[in-house]
Amino acid sequence: MADVMLDCKGLVCPLPIAKVQKQAREMQTGKTLEVVADCASFAQDIKDWCAKTNHPLISINSVGAVTKAVLKF
């Protein structure tokens, strides 16, 4: 289980990534963040954001329209 959970279901691009960016400012080193979103572009957006910010993407999986991503800070 992640240290912090962020529910972005019902939000469309770019709001899920904006919320991740805001939460990232409050994350402590070594902690994990789980993000759940149902935006169609979220899976690719979170991969791109992690690559851009150098935060490891621990896991990502989709079930139906919902994608869950776990990041490490």
pLDDT tens track for 11-33 = 999 999 999 999 999 999 999 99
Q: Give the pLDDT band of residue 65 (cuts 50, 70, 90).
A: very high
Prediction pTM value: 0.93
Which residues make beta-bridge pairs with 5? 34
Can you point out the beta strands (E) in 1-73?
4-7, 32-37, 57-63, 66-72
**What is 4-72's CATH number?**
3.30.110.40
Exactly one of 8, 13, 39, 50 is catalytic; which is it?
13
| For the chain, domain boundaries | 4-72
Does residue 1 have a pLDDT over 90? Answer: no
Q: What whole-number distance in Å separates Cα of residue 47 and Cα of residue 61?
A: 12
Is 13 catalytic? The answer is yes
Contact 34, 61 (CB under 8 A): no
**Assigned token pair, 34:** 């789980």
